[in-house]
Amino acid sequence: MQKTVSKAKNALQGEIIVPSDKSISHRAIIFSSLACGKSTIKNFSDGQDPKSTLNIFKKLGVEIEQDNDCLTVISNGKLNPSSNILDCGNSGTTMRLLAGVLAGQNFNSVLSGDLSLSNRPMKRIIEPLSLMGAKIDSDNYKAPLKIYGRDLNSIDYKSKISSAQVKSCVLLAGLNTKDFGVTKFTEPYLSRNHTELMLKSMGADIISEGTSAAIRSSKLEPIKMTIPGDVSSAAFFIAAGLIVPNSKIILRNVGLNPTRTGIIEVAKQMGGNIKILDKREVCGEYVGDIQVEYSELHSCEISGEIIPKLIDEIPVLAVLATQAQGETIIKDAQDLRNKESDRIKTIVSELKKLGADIEETEDGMIIRGKLNLKGGHKVRTYNDHRIAMSLYVAGLICEKEILINEFEWVNISFPEFEYLIEKLNNK
Ligand code: S3P
């Protein structure tokens, strides 16, 4: 589907409720399927990725009923083998977390994915799982993964990369080891910690300290939870509110877990007028409303510890940086090349077409602003939902309209994206 985006006619004004968090939605399904009893999950994401996770657990014999955005999960804590290939679609989180669950079962499974997922690196999970005794066949460390379920041992694993997907995979395998030892995962910088928080609230024997988390084989209690809004979806509105002249918007019900809010920290550092209203705690996660006003921005350097806290927001931060005075440098973000697309290459090439002064580096990019984006070009999403939405935000400030190819990929995480932008723009 080709999408035409023209310069925003009006300032963005008003308020929206940000849709459900994708990362937490995946985990809510996975962990409640492993718990014994009835769980209820409210505000479940309607993105395609969490649906992939949900469909797989149905195939593994878990009873899941859906009433709009409310799910009831009834499980005896045990999974059944599936004679079908388990299709993870576009979702790296589904494949990597599921591998940790399935490696320790007493049956075999096959996980497959779409073209993009089949090209993403799986060595990062196959390696630690193999050290735990898992047997996984792959196509040179790429999907499909054939997992031969067997008893696993605990492990003390030091990961070279900071990754919540790898961490969650190892912790989920550690939840079900047969030697009942401690499985410890340490990463260079702390990545999102939803797995640790949710497993703890479900009664798992898990301890977090600094950049490590340690778990013992445990039984999980069912949960009742309401999933907060996704700060990674809010990020597109934060950026749009900051760069569309005279905008003032409120984003309601956004998850504010400190391992996810790097975008807010950086946008404030760049001079963004952002206020958090009514910060509260819902089911162990911080939630709040975010007020964003159009601002004069200046450049900054984004590197090191903050990178995992904004890893998914870098494409839209690049758009923001085109409107900031000075040179914004993004470093230490090499792993962006392993996402749904090589996000360093794809965002740099497409923003260049729109007139940005932006340059690719090995582990990030350099953006020089402030420049008026000319637009007037066709750009590509590379079948990547976050590239699609970042380009749409750029289109709102381009002088001439832009055409975005393959825009339907937004459905992976945020089907209502355009509707909500239009709602704020027409007020
Ligand atoms: C996610 C972790 C991140 C992120 C992805 C979702 C998760 O990936 O990019 O969109 O839910 O655990 P990595 O852990 O590979 O950095």
Measured from the CA of 232, which atom of ligand 1 is nearest? 10
Give 330's contacts (C-beta < 8 A, 6+ positions apart): 301, 302, 303, 314, 317, 318, 321, 364, 365, 366, 367
Encoded tokens for 144: 């499909």
Q: How many helices and strands in the chain, by DSSP H and E?
A: 14, 24
pLDDT at 400: 98
Superfamily of domain 3-20+228-425: Enolpyruvate transferase domain (3.65.10.10)
* CB 164 near ligand 1, within 6 Å: yes
Give the residue, out of 30, 159, 191, 413, with the most ligand 1 atoms within 8 A of its beta carbon, to mutate for a pocket test. Answer: 191
| Whether the predicted model's global pTM rises above the 0.95 cut | yes
pLDDT at 240: 98
Is 151 labeled as catalytic in the residue annotation? no
Q: How many residues does the chain have?
A: 427
Handedness of CA 75, 77, 81, 85 (dihedral sign): positive
Amino acid at 132: M
Smallest CA separation from ligand 1 atom 9, residue:
312
22-226 shares the fold of 3-20+228-425? yes
* CB 191 near ligand 1, within 6 Å: yes
Ligand 1: distance of its center to the CA of 424 in Å?
29
Q: Identify the active-site residue in 312, 332, 335, 384.
A: 312
pLDDT at 180: 84
Ligand 1: distance of its center to the CA of 232 in Å?
11
How distant, in Å, are the alpha carbons of 155, 186, 266 from that of 128?
8, 12, 33
* CB 93 near ligand 1, within 6 Å: yes
Successive 10-residue mean pLDDT values, the chain, 427 residues = 96 97 98 98 96 98 95 98 97 98 98 98 98 98 98 98 98 96 98 98 98 98 97 98 98 98 98 96 93 98 98 98 98 98 98 98 98 97 98 98 97 96 86
Distance CA(303)–CA(339), nearest Å, equals: 18
Phi, psi of 414, deg, nearest 5: -150, 70
Q: Where are the domains of the chain?
A: 3-20+228-425, 22-226
pLDDT at 339: 98
Say which CATH topology domain 22-226 has. UDP-n-acetylglucosamine1-carboxyvinyl-transferase; Chain (3.65.10)
Ligand 1: distance of its center to the CA of 341 in Å?
13
Smallest CA separation from ligand 1 atom 16, residue:
163
Give the residue, out of 88, 192, 194, with the most ligand 1 atoms within 8 A of its beta carbon, to mutate for a pocket test. Answer: 192
Ligand 1: distance of its center to the CA of 371 in Å?
31
